[in-house]
Amino acid sequence: MPTLTRAITHIPIRLDAANVGKLAQLDALAEAYKALCQQYVTAFCTDVEPDKYADAWLDSALSARWQRVVIQHAAGVAQSWRTNRNRAHQAYLDELAEQQEQTDPQHSVPPWREWQTPTLKQTVIQANANVVILEPSEDSTFDYWLRVSTLDKRQPIRIPVRLAAYHRRVLTGCTPNTSMTLTRKPSGWWLTLTVNESLAAATTVESPVVGVDVGITNFLTTSTGKRYGTFHGKLARRHQQDREKRRRKARLRACLKKKGVTRLPSLTNQRLARHVRQEINLAVNQFYADHLDHQIAYEDLDVRTMRFKARRANAYLYASNLAHLPRQLAWGAKKRGQTIHAGWAAYSSQECSRCHFVSRANRPEQQTFCCQACGFQLNADENAAINHQARFHDRDMRACRSKEAVKALLDARHVAWLQSPDSRSLSARREPAFGCESISGQSGVGHHSGSRRRKHPPRAS
């Protein structure tokens, strides 16, 4: 039976005037923890491979147990940074290779800029039972006591924890896990607990599969043609207002900076981002309400590498919070017990779902898909969702380890389709014009020009 780890957040740790000493000890511990964690993060990102079981080699006032916790925390941060950096660099190399194959001088790839190592800005302690223990309270008005090891050997502190009604309701019948997170914010310290829940599987291997494509015009588009949520309309107007407000703040920041003001107004707008996430969550919930017994196929989308030529389009992409969609899809399926699989995103929007031909020319417009080989026409997002659905049980596609391997597999399938009876039944089918230049880039099988389409020659009977 699958299990789900659920986080219980926003548990305040309120220390009144009588606990000033405990607060000072906790703050001193946090400063030493953050400083040592930053050193290990830098080392794991630049010098050595991340290893959460590595022996401590840096001097610190923390105990050996605390240093072990710090190393595990830093190794997780560094491993995530290395993975994202390698994916971004590989995407850059792919784009550079495509640019070198083309002859368009206007489209140039900017030089690679090496990533900066992560800098820990917020004080976060990821602790376990070796250093922090949550003890139930039996004879007080508090719900728990948090036993924290400090910098002083064998002198732990006990911090009272009082839960809200929501927290008590969630923890009813559950035992908190031994791992927990302490976060230092301007408003004080906050505690995050986790609990494990057993879930009943809602789908089987024989359940139907629905493909999902994520986008900006429609947050979710299924292989059956349904659409959920959009960034247009209300959110687009709010985004435009936010851009105008940021321009005014930018001019104000420039004036204040010339006058020597150090505390400048922020350009970020958390309210707009919160509204976008709420609309995305609503669209995802509506999608799952309509597909309770389906397996889900979606794309492993890497938004960090997505760029447009126009600055306005990039601002639109950033405001749409597109990276939140795959994460919310995966979380929604996990907590409902449904099977979900993230497949290759490579060429899913350029591949024809009928003949598997791949070309940029298949997308004459953003929302239109028109295959230059067989003439198949469909909404671009729906065509991509059908491709995701087909890739759910595709073992050959899962075996691909690079974008080039995916392209070679699709090219071979297109050639096989040309030789199949299905291709002969299409009288208006277009044949790949081998050697011709595409209007939007080159294709591995053949190059199709939108202005020089050729009919397939008559076959000998």
Residue 8 lies in a domain: yes
Mean pLDDT of the chain: 84
Question: If DSSP states are collapsed to H, E and C, what string results for the chain?
Answer: CCEEEEEEEEEEECCCHHHHHHHHHHHHHHHHHHHHHHHHHHHHHHCCCCCCCCCCCCCCCCCHHHHHHHHHHHHHHHHHHHHHHHHHHHHHHHHHHHHHHCCCCCCCCCCCCCCCCCCCCCEEEEECCCCEEEEECCCCCCCEEEEECCCCCCCCEEEEECCCHHHHHHHCCCCCCCCEEEEEECCEEEEEEEEEEECCCCCCCCCCEEEEEECCCCCEEECCCCEECCCCCHHHHHHHHHHHHHHHHHHHHHHHHHCCCCCCCCCCCHHHHHHHHHHHHHHHHHHHHHCCCCEEEEECCCHHHCCCCCHHHHHHHHHCCCCHHHHHHHHHHHHHCCCEEEECCCCCCCECCCCCCECHHHCCECCEEECCCCCCEEEHHHHHHHHHHHCCCCHHHHHCCCHHHHHHHHHHHHHHHHCCHHHHCCCCCECCCCCCCCCCCCCCCCCCCCCCCCECCCCCC
Quick check: 227 pLDDT over 90?
Answer: yes
Average pLDDT score over residue span 340-355 = 91
Quick check: 456 pLDDT over 50?
Answer: no
Question: What confidence tens digit (pLDDT) does each residue in 180-202 have?
Answer: 999 999 889 999 999 998 888 88
How sure is the predictor about 237, in pLDDT bands with cuts at 50, 70 and 90? Answer: confident
Residue 39 lies in a domain: yes
Tell me the range of 110-114, 175-179, 362-366 where mean pLDDT is highest: 175-179
Residue 44 lies in a domain: yes
* Confidence (pLDDT) at 352: 94
Q: Is pTM, for the whole model, over 0.85?
A: no
- For 425, other C-beta atoms within 10 Å of its C-beta total 8
Residue 80 lies in a domain: yes
Average pLDDT score over residue span 349-363 = 92
Average pLDDT score over residue span 51-76 = 95
Residue 267 lies in a domain: no
Average pLDDT score over residue span 88-107 = 75
Residue 404 lies in a domain: no
How far is residue 210's CA from residue 233's CA, in Å, rounded to a whole number? 27
**Domain range enclosing 117:** 3-97+110-198
Quick check: 297 pLDDT over 70?
Answer: yes
Residue 142 lies in a domain: yes
Query: What are the C-alpha distances in Å from 391 to residues 80, 264, 398, 423, 445?
Result: 27, 50, 8, 21, 20
Quick check: 68 pLDDT over 90?
Answer: yes
Question: What confidence tens digit (pLDDT) does each residue in 83-97 have?
Answer: 989 988 888 887 787
Question: What confidence tens digit (pLDDT) does each residue in 16-57 have?
Answer: 755 788 889 999 999 999 999 999 999 999 999 999 999 999
How far is residue 90's CA from residue 85's CA, in Å, rounded to a whole number? 9
Residue 115 lies in a domain: yes
- For 173-182, 210-219, 248-257, 260-269, which range has the lowest pLDDT when averaged over its residues? 260-269
Total domains in the chain come to 1
